[in-house]
Chain A
Amino acid sequence: MSLIELKTGNSRCLRMLDKVTETAEILDNAYAFRSRLGRLVLASLSLVADREGFPRPKYPGPWHIPECAEGRNAAVADACQAVFQLSSLACQPSEPLDSRWKATWASLKVELAALKLALEGME
């Protein structure tokens, strides 16, 4: 990844985050919401990995960032972790259109706002 891409990668993640939020407003979009959320978490963690020089994660999921990581990068990784944990509860692997998704959206919104702040903080 080039220096410019490293510096602007967060704008791409922020665009993805807006798309996730937009999708979540309509319950019928729950199936796409799940995949957009996964894409956002993976892109954000990959950005952190590139900036830190670590191997990128293969899939959106638990990813432990070493303690030596720079604070702003660690903040993004932590926010991703929180989003992932909540989303795996909200979107069961077997039934993405679960009524639970609607109930969990309020909490997920808070975690996404934290991720947005952390991504903006990378600039």
Chain B
Amino acid sequence: MNGGSCLWLYGSEARGDSDPLSDVDVLAVGTQNQRIEQGLPPGAVVSRYSWTEVELMASTGSLFLLHVKTEGKCLYESRDVKGRLARLLGDLPEYKYVARDLTGFRLVADDVEESARQEEGDLYFESSLIAATIRHACILACYILRLPCFGRTEPVARAVALLQLDPQIANDFFDLYRVRLCTERSKDDGPGATWQQVRLWSSRLQKVLDELDRIKNWEFSLPTHAR
């Protein structure tokens, strides 16, 4: 049963907090249905997976699928796969790649630190990377602390509060994230960036990762009733 397809909306459009810088995020599973996908708004960002891939992701407790589960809305599903994705989302196990993600975040943080130290590379690209990595690290932290959220800046605000990190990280994060959004969308009216700011954010990213490292095994020490 691999012929059917479904489309789910997720992200800011699904949450109802989109703004002019928002994408329309869509998950497409199964064979491409051009007739249905033509109805999507122009510029929709479609993440496309086969059923086999989605099942594999589900078996690892994918945070992306948890994201879709938390806020997603089914836009379309063909009759032969009715309820199939919802069933997969309803039965997600614990996320298996906490340690692996942390290793990846560390590598990115070290790369950015090196670029900032040498003032080599592109300021906006490095700023964008820090923004994305802090957000992903905070999404993971919120998940570990059993309060998952997936908004643009909400995971950072929540993780900073829960982990008692410097509140300035959450206060300033919106501006950093705007650098990322404006850079990715080639908008010229975005906020500026300096190497000094990149160095500051690079050290903030390291602090977030240190905290994530500290709590990464938390799930195993939580009593069952607290999960």
Contacts and interface: CB of A to CB of B under 8 A. Distances in A.
Given A46-B122, A100-B53, A31 B104 contact: yes
Contact of A31 (B53, B108, B125, B186): B108
B64 A95 contact: yes
A100 B47 CA distance: 12
A93 B108 contact: no
B205 interface: no
The secondary structure that dominates the A interface is helix
Interface in B21-76: 25, 27, 45, 47-49, 53, 56-57, 62, 64, 67
Given A35-B129, A39-B125, A58-B186, A93 B45 contact: yes
Contacts of A72: none
Nearest to A26: B103
B80 interface: no
Interface string A26-45: 00111110011011001100
Contacts of A100: 53
B225 interface: no
B161 interface: no
B62 A59 contact: no
Interface in A55-85: 56, 58-60
Contacts of A11: none
Contacts of B104: 28-32, 96-97
A98 interface: yes
Contact of A59 (B67, B103, B125): B125
Contacts, number: 72
Contacts of A96: 104
B64 A28 contact: no
Contacts of B121: 39, 43
**For this complex, into which size category does the number of interface residues on chain B fall?**
20 to 34
B24 to A, nearest CB: 13
B108 A98 contact: no
A75 B101 CA distance: 35
B87 interface: no
A7 interface: no
Contacts of B201: none
A96 B129 CA distance: 14
A2 interface: no
Interface in B78-130: 97, 100-101, 103-105, 107-108, 111, 115, 120-122, 124-125, 128-129
B25 to A, nearest CB: 7
B89 to A, nearest CB: 14
B103 A95 contact: no
Contacts of B27: 94
10 contacts: A28-B100, A29-B104, A29-B107, A31-B107, A31-B108, A58-B124, A59-B125, A95-B64, A98-B57, A99-B53
Q: Which 6 A-B pairs have the closest CB atoms?
A: A31-B104, A32-B107, A95-B64, A94-B47, A94-B64, A92-B47
Given A12-B120, A58-B124, 6 more contacts: A39-B111, A43-B121, A46-B122, A59-B125, A99-B53, A99-B56
Interface of A: 12, 23, 28-32, 35-36, 38-39, 42-43, 46, 56, 58-60, 92-100
